[in-house]
Each structure stands twice: as structure tokens, then as C-alpha cells.
Structure 1
């Protein structure tokens, strides 16, 4: 393959990775899918590829759908322990964020809800809402009719309605939210935490150290507050399990304010706060190392502001 052919692929790599990530909810799987697409590109007869961007979009979409339909993926996601892989603000894999639909399509809430969609519904939603393809273009990519694409987007929108975080969250806003949340959680007073949560707030976690066999669900604000009050109380046992005394940083993850827990420049956990109005409607805690690999890599590449808690 000549340099120009490789360059044409590399020019599309970030967009393709963003597409695959939205379809799969996993950065690792997205990277593998893009690499598989590169092998297809390498083997293709370039003379017959009239529009490389369209050709590659179709290949990546269908490779991702094959993964979603595989028995292995269905089995892994059926056991109740699957969560989307979080990405730090500015990661090119997050892709476009100019419109409300683009921002919502990459929140963990929407990525989780997309698990309820069929693979084709998921692909139509991502291509149409996040990448602004027309129904005619979506139909050609997926091998369906234009009216079929319209029906799929209608069903997908109905299931995902009002799940995202449409507001832009900058780092200053994230820091204010996280500082208030950390202060309330570490105070030991449940009522302070409850005042920050919506009446229907929910939470989910993969357990301290990502050790839970199934996701731990918190169905009421009271349960969230109780879990956080206990979790934020430092102890020797917790520090031994973490491997030291971590720092807590305020960041933006998948478009939402988040608390990033780091130790020796390694991310050991993250809590993503989903905002509705001026309150927190959801808390997602992730600590499994296999879900934090790309987040850690991105974190290590950057300069960091002073942490609200330098040593927990």
C-alpha cells in the first residue's frame, strides 16, 4: 500500500473510531474495529473505491454490527456487568459535539440505553443523529430501505428520549459541581448529599476496584447518599486496597462532570455525574481496570489542574 493510500485512511481514523465507539460503547472494541477496517482497506482494489469516506463508513458500521450480533458480545452484555467505557473530554474518539444530538449520543446514559435497541436501530440512530447522514445515505450503508431507516430512527428516539445531557459542561463548571459533591459526600451528613440529588436520582457502580460480579444498582437518592457517605470515608483498609492515598480531580467525562480518582498518575476510578437542571440525576461509578485503560492513557498525556483533594 502506498503512502497516499495509507494517508487517506489515517485522515478518517478519528471519525471512524468515534463511529465505532458510539456503536459499541467500548474504546478497545472500537480500536479493534477500525484496525479490521484498515485491513479491508489495504486489501481493496482502490480503483473501484469512488468515495473513500463513504466506503470506510460502511465497512466500519457493518464490522461493528457484526460484533454487536456476535454470541460472545451478547453473552457478555447479558450477565448484568456491562458498562460503557468512559472517555476523557478532548479524546478524539468522542467525535463531533456541535449539536445537542451529537453531545447526547456519547453520554454514558445514552450509550447504556442504546443496549435496548436492536443493532440496526442503534446504527441508524448513530449515523443519523451523531453523523448527520440522510435517511437515503443510512439506507445505503445498512442495506435497508429509506422508509425503514425512518421507522428505526422513530423507535430509537422514543426509547432514548430525554436520557442525555444536552448542556455543554466546561471544566470550570465541572469543578464547581464536583467540589460541591465531594464536600457534601465527605461531610458525613446524608442530608447535604440529598440536597444535590433529584428526587428520582439513580446510581450504578461496578464496585470498589471493579470487583462486583454484577453491577450494583442504587434505585433511590437515599441509597446513593448512604453509599457515597460510606465510600468517601477514608480508612486504612480502603487505602490498602487502592494501593495508597489517591487524589480526586474534577474533570469532564463523556460530556458530564466527573470525579477522577488517581494514584501515581494511574486512574483507579471515576464517578460520572449526570446533570438535570441544577441537580444530579445520576451517578455512575467505574473502577474496573479494563474499563479505564484509555482514560488512564489520555490522563497521562495531559497537564492537570490542582486536585480538589490532593490526598484522600
Structure 2
């Protein structure tokens, strides 16, 4: 079980005032402020509401998909947190269908919920959700995935750009800034999180590791262990001098690690993943060549998402856009993040 990091939430925008329960702002408009925020108020994006019961409120949780363990855990965390603070939660699953997600939001509005939390999965945008919410006075919070445009009150999720830079920095430091590094992408090419990870890792690599080279396979790992193993086999056949592999999630890294072991090349390279799955923790703490992963905790993100919505219900200050930090877990600190 992963230890909570709820006290580490950081802000990415100014604090705003919750003006009633609705009034979603356009994504391309700056948030308005009411006076100068107290620096002390900037210590957390979603203030803890453990001592506050929000009885009488109902939230809708509209999920684009619950098909992965991460997304299912995120939904469960939101349901559990709502129950803890006395909020009724109604969850839906669009099954990966954008049109159904918009229909689910419309249905939740018809049930007169006080707020809607959208978990958008790997969607780039959801115009149907924006249209459904545009004229509504119901508050809208995005968790995990922030759409490129639309109307919303607040968002909270991981900072994948920082995750990629942290991974890049770790690899450079661990290997003395020399050698050939491979990346394994999940795909498809338009996947928003995969794109951000790839772009940010590439930027860090180009700017900070001039004596290292970066390669990738034309294949995609499909975010699965089997896919990571398959892509890694191709990389091993083409590159006999790899010293590190950065994978866009832990499952692909575990598969890539297996491929390297099967090829007798375990001692030649290290692996760095993203996610902080129990299997990744086990591999890191066992001292394997799976050296590090960035912790993206769905329990923490889900809890903070509900905290944020309740803060809006309470008409208190809140940050429109905020990150839940994803610490880099490695052998020296893994025990701090695992119970």
C-alpha cells in the first residue's frame, strides 16, 4: 500500500474564489483573483476537509473508461473520499466512448447533482462535455487529465513534464552522462500523456545530456508488459550498446526488463518507469536493474479531486490548476513511499 503524499500538493495557477456552485471558466481565459492571495494559502491545492462534513451535496463522477487498474482505482478513491465527507457520489463509465461520456454528463445534470468530476483517461478533448456543461450552474472539476479546451472550474493531476525531466536527470546522473538510452512509448501517436512524456524527456535529453544518445523503436508497447517485452526485443536486436531504458509506464518496463534478462544482458543497463506500481516497487527494493519509477498515485489524485470539489461547495479559495507531485522512487527512498 502506498503512503499518502497529500501534504505535498503544489499550485500551478493563482488561487481563485469559488463564486457559487457554477460559473465554469473557459480554459483559455485567465482565472480572476479577489485581492492578493496570502502566501500561506498556497501550500496546498485542495485543503484538507477531514473535519468538514458536506452532508446534503451530491457529485457525479463521469469516467471516460474504467478499463485499466489505474482508472478503476482513481474512481474508487473518489467514491471512498466522498463517503468519508458525507457526499453522495454517482459514478458512470463511458466504456471509452466520448459520445457516451457526454451523454453521462447530461444524465448527471438531469439528476441535479451539485458538481461533476470528470476523469478523462486518454482523451485529448471532449467537446460534448463542454457543450453539456456550458450553460450549467454546476461546478466541473477535472482529475488526472485536463482537456485542451472547454469550460471548467478546476483541475488536479500529475505533472508528466516534470516526471519526464526527473527520469532524464536520474538516468544522466546514474550513468555519468554517457551512453545510449532507449525509450519505449505506449502509443498511439496521439496519446496525450505519451506525447507529453516523450516531448519532455527529449527536451531534457537534448538540453542536458550532450554526450548521450537517444534511440527508440518504431514499435509501440501498448502500455502492457507483453508490449514492453516485444519492443525491447527489437531494441536489443538493433542496439548492442544500450545502457538505459526509459518506459512510459511500469508495465512496459517490467516486460523490457524480462527481455533483457532473457537475452543475458541484465548487467548492461538500467530501467526507469512511470507509475509506482507494486510490482515496480518490488523490483526496485529488491535491488534489480529496474532502478526507478515516478509515483503517480490514483488514490491521492482521487482524494484530492473530491477535496477540491468540496472546497468549491464551501465557497472557499481554490487553485484552478494544480499538480499532485510524483516523487521519483529509487532504492534510496522507496521505503518512504511504501507501507
Output the TM-score relative to the length of structure 1. 0.23
Higher RCO (Cα < 8 Å, 6 or more apart): 2
More strand by share: 2
More helix by share: 1
